[in-house]
Amino acid sequence: MRRRSEPHTFEQRLDAQRLRLEHELANLPVGVQRDSVAARIEQLQTAAEMFEFLKLRDAPAVR
C-alpha cells in the first residue's frame, strides 16, 4: 500500500509555487512570457501577505 505524504499548509504550497516560478523566471528571455511569470510571482507574494494578515486578525487576542 502506498503511503500518503503529510498534507502541506497553504503557506507551504504558496512558497513552493513561488520558488518554482522564480526558477522558471531565471531561465526565460525578456518578453511577454517572462512578464507573465513575474506577475504571477507578485500575485503569490500578495496572497501570502493577505493570508498572514487574515490569520493574525482571526487569532485570539492575548491578554
Digit-coded pLDDT (tens) for 20-58 = 999 999 999 999 999 999 999 999 999 999 999 998 887
Whether 62 shows a pLDDT value over 80: the answer reads no
- Mean pLDDT calculated for residue range 12-23: 95
Task: Choose between 8 and 43: higher pLDDT.
Answer: 43
The answer, yes or no, to whether residue 1 has pLDDT greater than 80, is no
Quick one: 44 exposed, middle or buried, by C-beta within 10 A (0-12, 13-18, 19+)? Answer: buried
Task: Give this prediction's pTM.
Answer: 0.77
Predicted pLDDT at 60: 75
Q: Give the residue from 49, 55, 24 showing the smallest Cα distance to 38.
A: 24
